[in-house]
Amino acid sequence: MKQITAIVRPEILEPLKDALTSAGVHGMAVSEVQGFGNQRGWKEFYRGTEVLLNMVPKVKMCLVVADGEVEELIDIICAVAKTGEVGDGKIFVTPVEEAVRIRTGERGEDAL
């Protein structure tokens, strides 16, 4: 099993969620986060003073899936989230040793 963590633009959340559920994803966790990467934020003027806003709002989506689904889901995330501009986001894939469904006690891929 693998955990796919995608950090994307907030406006991409609904189309991405729809695309992933159409591909058979049954569950995901979504959080609103702030951070910066190469984009380094942007400058705005507040009451005549230039202010650097370096924490960019993003959405963090976490999925735990079977090993065989990873490449297909990465392709879907990239296709939906890519605008070609700085700030499109990142995808991280990490191994998951165990998953347990609390209600039933199911373990491994059966818990997904």
pLDDT tens string for the chain (112 positions)? 999 999 999 999 999 999 999 999 989 999 999 888 776 666 777 788 877 777 888 999 999 999 999 999 999 999 999 999 888 999 999 999 999 999 999 999 999 8
* Number of independent structural domains in the chain: 1
pTM, whole model, 2 decimals? 0.84
pLDDT of residue 48: 82
pLDDT of residue 52: 72
Listed as own residue / partner, the contacts of 37-45 with beta carbons closer than 8 Å and 24 or more positions apart are: 37/87, 37/90, 38/86, 39/86, 39/87
pLDDT of residue 16: 96
The boundaries of the domain holding residue 33 are: 2-111
Q: Going edge to edge, which strands form the sheet with 89-95?
A: 29-35, 56-65, 2-8, 89-95
CATH number of the domain where residue 43 is located: 3.30.70.120
